[in-house]
Structure 1
Amino acid sequence: MFKFKYDRSMPIRVCVYEDNQPLRDALSLLIQTTEAFELVGAFGDCHQVEQQIASLRPHVVLMDIDLPGVSGTEATLRIRRKFPATDILILTVFEDDDRVFEAIRSGATGYLLKKTPPVRILAAIEEVYEGGAPMSPNIARRVMHSMHRSTTPSDFDQLTPRESMILALLAAGNSYKMVAAEANISIDTARTHIKRIYEKLHVHSVAEAVAKYLKR
């Protein structure tokens, strides 16, 4: 059984977009039967995504990429433009660089493959809600490799070595708590560093910071 790291007075509201009905039903059941999660909607397409998000107000959206009509990437962009406080966690079979980076640039907060175990999906929803950017291990590796290939020192010369390390940890999918542990600092200190990273890179979220880091 999945256990939350933190006590909550209100559930994490989750909405699912998945066109494969058996998988959509399985994800819905997983969320419905997990304490402190609330399933607020499950849909097979994103034709009405803006209206649905406005009405349901989820904290986290589980989003497939290959959806009929409106792709998950396009839907992610629409959600982020109108509802910036809503986090989008991609859950897909695609792991090629183009789709990964397109999703991140569109505003996705995390990127998981569908082969991810159910307990990890639940943990990733919580991590997203807590400010992290979870990714499947091989996706995180692709992101890190791309950073090394495409980023020049002058792009981020305002960042201190500690801030650069923290940004790399965030890009690898670590939550704020995990970043603090890896950097051997308190979570409040980690949040202060992250705030400074946002200011120096002129961004407002982990996803934007990672996307800027990946920009070619």
Structure 2
Amino acid sequence: MKLTFAHWFLIIIALGLLILAFFNLAPPGLVSKINCFLDRNSPILIGIGTVALVSGLALWTAHLSNVSAEKRQEADRLLNAELKLSDFRQKWINELRVDFAEVIQLAYSFFDEKSHQNETVRKLKMVEARVRMRLNPKCDAVLERKIERELTKLVKACESVVMQSASQHSEQSPEGNAGESALKHREELAKLGSEFLKQEWEVIKDNLDKLKRGNR
């Protein structure tokens, strides 16, 4: 067990009490001899005591300095860890922003390039999978769940448009109800994505502000 300053202080007090008890219980002759010894060697004993006191103070100062350095190192480690976490979060947000932009761009091109709608749906599904993997599957955040639902509805609506286009017996135009649904989910997803990215950016800013205040 590592002895602290409080432990040493209690030990010194205990030794002092033992010495006092010894002088009270010791025979008078022995006490006289000890007093004579102390009188004859008082300069040496004072020197030894002074050296011991100075050494003790130096050790205690060094101990305080080491404790302070350890605390500072621990604070620096925590700061670096938080900064790295913020960097990872920023990278995650940037990648998610790219994915959201790609989804919206594909949703627009889906209606502009009708001859490539099957390929566009395939790409949408790939980006949908990436977005889902970037979002926390165990998170109870309402906004993230809304994004997932709108993304799923957008892909399904686009698939419905493709199936209607391929059907020879469809009584609706290829851009009927399914097309209107796809447009609605595209706009809603763009809105939710923008809101989510802004929210996550605010989290990073708050964390960095807390780090700055804590590091002052």
Structure with a larger share of its residues in strand: 1
TM normalised by structure 1 equals: 0.25
Higher Cα radius of gyration:
2
TM normalised by structure 2 equals: 0.25
Structure with a larger share of its residues in helix: 2
